[in-house]
Structure 1
Amino acid sequence: MVRRIVDAGQEVLIRYGYDGASTNRVAEAAGISPGSLYQYFPNKDAIVSAVIERYTAQVAERVRAHVVTHLATSPDVGVPETISVLLDALGDHPELLRAVVEQTPRLTSGSAVVAFEQQIGELARVALTMRRRQVPRDVDFDAAAWMLVRAVEHLTIRYVLDRPPVPRERFLAEITRLVLNYFREPAATSGNPRRE
């Protein structure tokens, strides 16, 4: 029953947005009475939070599985592949992505999003650390991982939602160039000794 209500909540959220969603509409879409719905969810926000949690968990699992499997892959190959997986995961349901992006701040239920960012950030930090000898000396791994995750997250979300006149391959090439800068010594400081 919970899954049925969450499925209906997703449908209603996509169709009507947060403001237009109601427990009555969710109950109707689920084919149950409002009273039955309240046995599982106390209000609209609880339903929307469950929709957001499920969606972000699905996206996170796809990306995390790819990153973990390809952690030792060269950044030149692994970065665009991982971003492509993220684009695919976000692009499966762009209407739901739009609703999630618009509603998460309002509900402060972004715990799944925060957990995903932390997990991917840790993997990014590990990837940078594994390539310690390739990374410029002055890179702070924690700061770099935090910035990389959020830059990629924001740009991919905006790419999916805004549909700019930028072909996917060009987007992947440009965002990859941005990320790979953390893995290369700048030309002006290439004479600096590397970490041991």
Structure 2
Amino acid sequence: MPRSRPPADLRRAPQQERSQAMVERIVTAGQAVLEREGYSRFTTNRVAVEAGISPGSFYQYFADKHAVLAAVVDRHSAQLSTQLTGVLTAHLDRPGPELVRATLDGLMDALEHNVEFLRLIVEQLPRAQYGDRTAALEQRIGDLVSAYLQINRPRSRVHEPATSAWMLVRTVEHLAVQYVLEDPDITRERFVEELAAMVLAYVEPHR
């Protein structure tokens, strides 16, 4: 009597899981090589060696070094997005000053987690080629900020929440990144207070 075969989707599941695990393995190896060698010395062969696979196996999952670099940046952006979204959503019911300070503290925690990797992304990766990889992160955070401003519009000086959210997200992101990378003679607590004051002055009504 012929042995029954499992449904096709059940046969594919282990293979898909293995494929996803290999992708993660290669992306992790790619980040390690980028951190150790820098962008100029980043090659597919180095990534393959780091991942413990052959170059041929590498090309089964990624077309070239740019594809794996994009995946490295995407994963970094997704991790930031998850962390910041969690902070924002956990404090949406708080008064404006508490929400702003909590969000800024969360942003600083995320950026300071791996400063040298952040420096590599900002200073070495060609912005024209990889700059748009952070667009999804900015859009997701911007949508949350815009929704908050819309809900609290009667208690703020904001007239166009989407416009204000776009400006706030990019201004705060730029200042926070530069603070982390330049490491000025300003305490983090003072920096967060000053940045929070700027944000609140922009969105809150004049007293």
Secondary structure of residue in 2 paired with 1:18: coil
Stretches of 4+ aligned residues off by more than 4 angstroms: none
Q: List gaps (5 residues or longer) in structure 2.
A: 1-21
Task: Write out per-residue CA displacement over residues 38-74 of structure 1, whole angstroms, 9 at most, x where no aligned residue.
Answer: 1111111011011000111001100011112211211
Q: In 1, distance between residues paired with 2:131 and 2:185? A: 32
| 2:41 maps to amino acid | G
Which residue is 1:69 aligned to? 90
| 1:114 maps to amino acid | A
- Does the 8 A contact of 1:104 with 1:110 survive in 2? no
Correspondent of 1:110 among 120, 132, 135: 132
| 1:89 maps to amino acid | A
- Does the 8 A contact of 2:156 with 2:203 survive in 1? yes
Distance 1:176 1:104, change over 3 A: farther
Question: Are 1:146 and 2:166 matched, yes or no?
Answer: yes
Q: List gaps (5 residues or longer) in structure 1.
A: 188-196
Shift of residue 25, structure 1, vs aligned partner: 1.1
Secondary structure of residue in 1 paired with 2:38: helix
Secondary structure of residue in 1 paired with 2:153: coil
Shift of residue 184, structure 1, vs aligned partner: 2.3
Secondary structure of residue in 2 paired with 1:110: helix
- Aligned alpha-carbon RMSD (Å): 1.6
- TM-score for the superposition, normalised by structure 1: 0.88
Which of structures 1 and 2 has the larger relative contact order (alpha carbons within 8 angstroms, sep 6+)? Answer: 1
Q: In 2, distance between residues paired with 1:109 and 1:141? A: 25
| 1:156 maps to amino acid | A
Question: Are 1:82 and 2:89 matched, yes or no?
Answer: no
Correspondent of 1:155 among 162, 175, 194: 175
Identity %: 43
Shift of residue 109, structure 1, vs aligned partner: 6.1
Correspondent of 2:77 among 19, 40, 56: 56
> Structure 2 matches for 1:2-13, cutoff 5 A?
2-13=23-34
Question: Are 1:125 and 2:146 matched, yes or no?
Answer: yes
Shift of residue 157, structure 1, vs aligned partner: 0.9
- Does the 8 A contact of 2:138 with 2:170 survive in 1? yes
The structure with the largest alpha-carbon Rg is 2
Question: Are 1:179 and 2:194 matched, yes or no?
Answer: no
Q: In 2, distance between residues paired with 1:100 and 1:74? A: 34
